[in-house]
């Protein structure tokens, strides 16, 4: 996390250092919430039939860098600190509680198109791009140990496969005096992951999260 934090703020510093009154760069800082819309497969045998999971939302400090190609097109790079998501028992194991957690660091590149809207300060846009969802630091709980027949001396561990996914975006900038702006946008990412347990069991989960961002930024 320290390495990513260094990269995040260094990237913003580079934008500021290179920007001048005629550049097409902008930067922003704010918060982002990732809200998964979960469809879970069944945990593979040996397990109780219908053992599925739900995944909670996560909010984190985030922002981004944007490069304006021309009056209509821009390339956007959202940036943020890692998000931590927890998995809870569902289906046949509903009510079991928290069974695991993992951190996610999505890397997204979006091509944005400024929508036709004749207003001096409100600039809506739409975009599409590619997301690489990197998962790490997967951890099981005592509940997972109980479900898989292990114990604290030999706990069940898990990994989540990192995946590429397509993303679409809709948002708007609200410009203020002095080249400052407020940016609000929502991204829909079409993401399906696989989680593997040290017991050899697997579970496929469709996350398809909605990603909501609110930030303040400055253009140059």
pTM across the whole model: 0.85
Torsion angle (degrees, nearest 10) of CA 13, 18, 19, 22: -170
The Cα 103–Cα 82 span in angstroms is: 6
**13 against 218, higher pLDDT:** 218
Summarize pLDDT for 160-187 with one digit per residue, the tens. 999 999 999 999 999 998 889 999 999 9
Backbone angles phi, psi at 16, to 5 degrees: -65, -40
Structure tokens at 12: 């913003």
Backbone angles phi, psi at 22, to 5 degrees: -110, 5
Summarize pLDDT for 38-96 with one digit per residue, the tens. 999 998 888 778 889 999 999 999 999 999 999 899 999 999 999 999 999 999 898 88
Q: Structural domain tally of the chain?
A: 1
CATH number at residue 116: 2.40.160.20
Strand, coil or helix: what is 87? strand
Q: Which residue's structure tokens are 């398809």?
A: 208
Domain that holds residue 32: 2-219
**5 against 134, higher pLDDT:** 134
């Amino acid at each position: 996390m320290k390495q990513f934090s260094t990269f995040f703020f260094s990237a913003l510093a580079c934008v500021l250092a290179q920007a001048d009154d005629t550049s097409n760069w902008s930067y922003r800082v704010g918060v982002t919430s990732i809200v998964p819309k979960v469809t879970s497969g069944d945990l593979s045998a040996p397990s109780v039939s219908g053992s599925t999971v739900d995944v909670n939302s996560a909010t984190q400090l985030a922002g981004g860098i944007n490069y304006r190609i021309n009056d209509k097109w821009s390339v956007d790079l959202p940036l943020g600190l890692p998000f931590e998501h927890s998995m809870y028992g569902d289906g046949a194991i509903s009510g079991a509680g928290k069974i695991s957690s993992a951190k996610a660091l999505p890397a997204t590149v979006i091509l944005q198109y400024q929508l036709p809207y004749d207003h001096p300060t409100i600039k809506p846009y739409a975009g599409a791009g590619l997301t690489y969802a990197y998962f790490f630091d997967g951890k099981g709980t005592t509940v997972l140990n109980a479900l898989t027949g292990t114990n604290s001396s030999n706990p069940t561990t898990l990994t989540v496969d990192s995946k590429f996914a397509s993303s679409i975006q809709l948002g708007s900038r609200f410009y203020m005096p002095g080249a400052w702006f407020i940016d609000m946008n929502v991204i829909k990412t079409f993401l399906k992951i696989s989680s593997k347990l040290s017991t050899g069991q697997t579970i496929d989960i469709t996350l398809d999260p909605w990603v909501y961002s609110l930030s303040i930024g400055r253009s140059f």
